[in-house]
Each structure stands twice: as C-alpha cells, then as structure tokens.
Amino acid sequence: MKILITGGAGFIGSHLAEYFNENYEVFILDNLSTGHRSNVSFIDETHFIKNDITNKSLIQELINKEKFDIIIHLAAVVSVVETIDNPILSQKVNIDGTLNLLEANKQYNSNLKKFIFASSAAVYGNTELLPQKIESFIDPESPYAIEKYTGEQYTKLYNKLYGLPTTALRFFNIYGPRQDPSSPYSGVLSIMNSKFYHNESFTFFGDGKQTRDFVYIKDLVQAVSIVINCEESNGKIFNLGTGNQLSLLQMFEEFEKIYDKTIDYEFTEPRSGDIKYSYAQIEGLNKLGYNPKYSAQEGLKEYINYTNNA
C-alpha cells in the first residue's frame, strides 16, 4: 500500500515515515523550508518530492498517478508568530494547500482509505474550560489557529459531502528526537534541552506557569497508526494529547533532575497568540484503543538520551 506524508521531512513527519516505511511504500512531499532531507535519508529520491502543497497542478498529477491508499497531511506554516506577521502567505499554505489535496483526492483517487489532517490545540484559544474537549467553544487567537480550524472543518466536510475517509487530529505539544531547537518557534522542550546541554540561559515567555499537554512522539505515532486502521474515525475530529497538564516551570524542574544541574533563566513578555493553559480530553481516541505510554519524565529521558548521544 502507498502512503503520502506531506511535510514528511520535518520532526513529526520523519518519525511517521520511519514507522510506516516497514510495511508501506512511503512517499514524502516537502519543500524543505523547515524540514531536513537528512531526517528521511532512508527514503530514496524516487519517493521524495521536493515541492509545495500550493502547487496545484503537481498535487493533481501526483495523486492521479500514485493513487495513494493513505495520506497524512502535515505540511504547513507552523509558527504562530509567522502567521501573525504574514497571514496572506500562511493562508495559502495552510488552507489553500489543504484544499488542493482534498480536491485532488476527490477527483482522482478512488483508492483512498484514509486522509489524516494535522490540526492543533491552538484552535481552542484561551478557553477557561479545561480539559479542552472537541465540543468546547472554539476561540482562535492567531491566523495559525484559524487556518488549522478551517483545514479540519474542510476535512470533515469532504467526508460528509463527498465520502472521503478523512480524520482530523488536534495535536497538542509534541516533542521528541529530531525537533529542531535552532528555531525560536520550535517546541519549547527542544529549546529547553538545547539550553541545558550547552549551559545557556533559558527565556520564559510569560511567567512560566502556562501549562501544556506534552506528548512524546512515539505516542503520536501510536495514535496515527490506530486512526489509519479505524473506519469508525472517518469524518471525525480527535484531540491527540495525554490528558495531563504540566507547567513550563515543572518541565524545567524535570530537566534539572535529569541533567543534575540548573541553568540561568529569565522571564519576558508573553508572545502574541500564545495560550495560557492547555490540556486535552482524549476519551475519543481512548475508545479507539489509544493509551499514551510515555509519562513526561519517561519521554524526556528517552528524548534527552537520544538527542545528546546522536
């Protein structure tokens, strides 16, 4: 069976590619704006397409030619700050690019068994009702959040109107090996780890008391593999988290324990569009068989061990 992973050379995509490469013929579409070819060196050149999801004609030709069984759509402008600075560009990628894929599959791909769209917990905004539920009030606070919400609703609509087997997953805070700490908008744990490793000062945006639902990458892979093989998930949206919230200060303390040292830190103004408190209700995925296996402590230990010995 053939699987296409858009954004497959990035942090999350490369782990999914590695996992599915054992049993599927994996193709990757990535423009390498944030991903790295070295992340997926096990994918040969005939299965790696360096291009953009906004290239409508290329998407149509690719879908028509390969008729993928499964598509995991990760490619996006993922920086909240970047979407605030340039919402026109991010809309082209995050909304138009998603529509290009959905429409091409509707027109040219009768083989499709599952289309997974990577949405985000950012769609909830600064809701006071926790944990965040799929039925919770949606209050996007950035173009990124609006674009992710729009993408997941189009994904849902293409199931309802055209019968495409689609599922949207609202990713919470995913972390793990190959997350790039060099970007200031990378996952906060990868940046924190880099600062500890190099004995550099860490900056908290805000008071550090903001909470997140931190998900180790292997738990995400588990969830995606379950959804791919579950027809019951078609046309639905699920939270992909652990159901637990931890503050950035608590995570900083976990790094102190693992490294057996501390580093300097400072506090600065919160970033525009950032969420204060966040964690997921995951009953929907639980019912499909998903159970997170990694606690924050276990995930951090494995992540730090892998990263520092790579």
User: Which of 237, 239, 110, 99 lies closest to 164, judged by CA?
Assistant: 110
User: Which of 18, 24, 103 lies closest to 57, judged by CA?
Assistant: 103
Inter-helix orientation angle 97-108/56-66, to 10°: 40
Give CA–CA dist 76/94, Å, rounded.
5
Residue with tokens 């009768």: 110
CB contact set of 259 (below 8 Å; sequence gap of 6+): 196, 304
Q: How far apart are the first and last CA of the chain?
A: 32
User: Which of 158, 184, 178, 121 lies closest to 306, judged by CA?
Assistant: 178
CB contact set of 178 (below 8 Å; sequence gap of 6+): 11, 14, 15, 39
Alpha helices (H) in 92-169, listed in sequence order: 97-108, 143-162
Q: Which residues are catalytic?
A: 144
Residue with tokens 């200031």: 184
Peptide bond into 143 cis (omega under 30): no
